[in-house]
Amino acid sequence: MKKIIAKRKLFLLGFIICLCIGITTNVSAVTQWCLQSLGSASCLFANAANPVLPTTGENGAVVSTSRDASLVGLEVLKDGGNAIDAAVAVGYALAVTDPCCGNLGGGGFMTIRFADGEETFINFRETAPLKSTADMYLDAEGNIVDELSTRGYLAVGVPGTVKGLNYALDKYGTMKRDRVINPAIKLATEGYTLQQGDIDIFQAGKSRLEEAETAKIFLDDRGKVRQTGDVLQQPELAATLQQLIPEGDAFYQGEIAQKVVAASEANGGILSLEDFATYNISEYEPISCSYREYRVISSPPPGGGTTLCQMLTVLSGYDLQQSGWRTTESLHHILSSMLFAFGDRNRYLGDPDFVDNPVDKLLSAEYAESIRQQIPANQAIPPEQVYDTEVQSEGTNTTHYSVIDREGNAVAVTYTINSYFGAGVVAPGTGFLLNNEMDDFTAKVGVANQFGLKQGSTNIIEPGKRPLSSMSPTIVTKDDEVFLVTGTPGGSTIPTTVLQVITSVIDYQKSLTEAVNTPRFHYQGFPDMVTTENNAMQSETIRGLRLKGYKVNPSDRQWGGAESIIVNSETNLLEGVNDIRKPAGAAVAY
């Protein structure tokens, strides 16, 4: 891929002038530092204070849910690191500055598209402990025990984040561990200033912050949520991060694993030293599909890329532009594609080490046509005609970030501890929260978990197995060049959110800012309800959908955080957009 270098100096000059005019006197300390250190064109944060403008740069861009973490990644790029170096640095920084979701104690996916056109996918999803059993969350009568899979040490899967980040750095990065981890250590040691967006998340997840080890880190001395402007220091996390720098495996075969296992054993968990010692990542080709003139690269099973690509393959047979932006007709086709994709996700998909996933069939043109033949023109399809059983849910409190470097390497990362603040437990002396990823398995076929989604037998608990996930870190190319890097948190809404970003840009020629920030909708069949953010659809359109048989529920709830970067084909500049639903986040570029 040729270097992404802008040639239009007049455009850049005009942009800087407009930016300088728009800067107000009420600028945060982080923004002031960025303006002084990196220059105005690098530091137009695409956030709630200025939601209508993207951040634009010639040489590299980083977008994440934390301003501080984004700046860490940008400095790595400016120091000559590649997109993989920056992605690893951001991942470690988010473990400090986005503790609800960024993590050392969880897992995730990384999709990479190299400048030479090669692609890879790194699966560092958590695994079920070796002592796990299929009925471990059921009582003697076979009923699910409330919160057993969501709170405490029995809910914890074997973490994969550290193994995944270090693997990516060692194989594809150019920098040493100290260079990419030290910024996170500094943030943990010196602290970072809490923004209102941080406080909102702490407030929403407070019930998971009340265990003694967790509370001493994240709550104040009175056991209350901290205030905007407070500086959060995490010395134990800094010490843990410091242990990750030397060559070796302190996390999986050293003191860190020992502390986590000891805490688990003391509190009813089943994690073992063998779980940590035998954990490993998987690397394979990402899933891909064609959509219009574009190619979409995303996460294979157990990730959500198959669901995303199946929806796109079905929709490729409709002229969405002709049917109009969020009209009853276009939404009927989109909602129907969602229904069939979630039905097949439930029926077929799981950990490829345990399940034979029929991906080629699900993404074939013939199968897409067979689905379109089942979609009537004037009525909604009853979900029970599509599903064998209902759909399993998963935690919505994930985080996503996107990176592109000057050479055109692109990285999309989505990782998680599942619920806000995971299982709500911190092993003494470690400083990091542990996941409750075991709730992403099917505890009992046909019974919902914490988020109301249900699922079939392909996702039952088995030792060493990875739970099914909707995480879909995605890269879109056109003419063999990177066009878009995107992804989002949001549990089962992840594929549908990424779908809306892609179709908004490709079918409706929306700007990336519009595509990311436009109100969203979601449909998965069970529960049989189309959920929308406020103003996602016009009232006339909602009436039309209801006449077709859809149940539409406009909601005050918001979801996702589609931290995205697009390559502007006219200016050849990188445009980063921070989702306004993540006001503590930022897009930065240079």
Q: Which amino acid is at 333?
A: H
Active-site residue, from 398, 477, 486, 496: 398
* pLDDT at position 236: 99
For the chain, the domains span 57-108+120-280+404-459, 284-395+471-575
What does the pLDDT read at residue 52? Answer: 56
**417 is known to lie in a ligand binding site:** yes
Place of tokens 């955080």: 561
pTM of the predicted protein model: 0.91
Q: 133-142 burial by CB neighbour count: b if 16+ within 10 A, else e?
A: ebebbbeeee
Burial of 531 (0-12, 13-18, 19+ CB in 10 A): buried
Between CA 36 and CA 561 the distance in angstroms is: 28
What CA–CA distances, in Å, run from 105 to 245, 415, 437, 438?
17, 10, 10, 13
Is 398 among the residues known to form the active site?
yes
- The whole-angstrom separation of Cα 304 and Cα 299 is 6
Is domain 284-395+471-575 given the CATH code 1.20.1250.10 in the classification?
no
| 125 in a labelled binding site | yes
25 labeled part of a ligand binding site = no
Residues forming beta bridges with residue 574, ordered by sequence position: 57, 567
How far apart (Å, rounded) are the C-alpha atoms in residues 163 and 107?
A: 9
Q: What is the pLDDT of residue 74?
A: 99
Regarding beta strands 552-555 and 530-533, do their DSSP bridges make them parallel or antiparallel, or are they unpaired? parallel
DSSP symbol at 134:
T
Q: What is the pLDDT along the chain (590 residues), one digit of tens a residue?
A: 444 444 333 333 333 333 333 333 233 333 343 333 333 333 344 444 444 589 999 999 999 999 999 999 999 999 999 999 999 999 999 999 999 999 999 999 999 999 999 999 999 999 999 999 999 999 999 999 999 999 999 999 999 999 999 999 999 999 999 999 999 999 999 999 999 999 999 999 999 999 999 999 999 999 999 999 999 999 999 999 999 999 779 999 999 999 999 999 999 999 999 999 999 999 999 999 999 999 999 999 999 999 999 999 999 999 999 999 999 999 999 999 999 999 999 999 999 999 999 999 999 999 999 999 999 999 999 999 998 665 566 666 799 999 999 999 999 999 999 999 999 999 999 999 999 999 999 988 877 655 555 567 899 999 999 999 999 999 999 999 999 999 999 999 999 999 999 999 999 999 999 999 999 999 999 899 999 999 999 999 999 999 999 999 999 999 999 999 999 989 999 999 999 999 999 999 99
pLDDT of residue 564: 99
Instruction: Return the exposure string of 62-88: e unless at least 16 CB atoms fall within 10 Å of the residue's CB, then b.
Output: bbbbbbbbbbbbbbbbbeebbbbbbbb
SS3 (DSSP) at 435:
coil
Is 416 labeled as ligand-binding?
yes
Q: Which residues 6+ apart lie within 8 Å of 3 measured at CB? A: 406, 407, 408
383 preceded by a cis bond (ω within 30 of 0): no
How far apart CA 162 and CA 102 sit, in angstroms, is 12
SS3 for 468-529 is CCCCCCEEEEECCEEEEEECCCCCCHHHHHHHHHHHHHHCCCCCHHHHHHCCCEECCCCCCC
Decide if 338 contacts 311 (C-beta within 8 A). yes
Beta strand extents in 13-145 (DSSP E only): 55-57, 61-64, 107-113, 119-124
Residue 469 is labelled as binding a ligand: yes
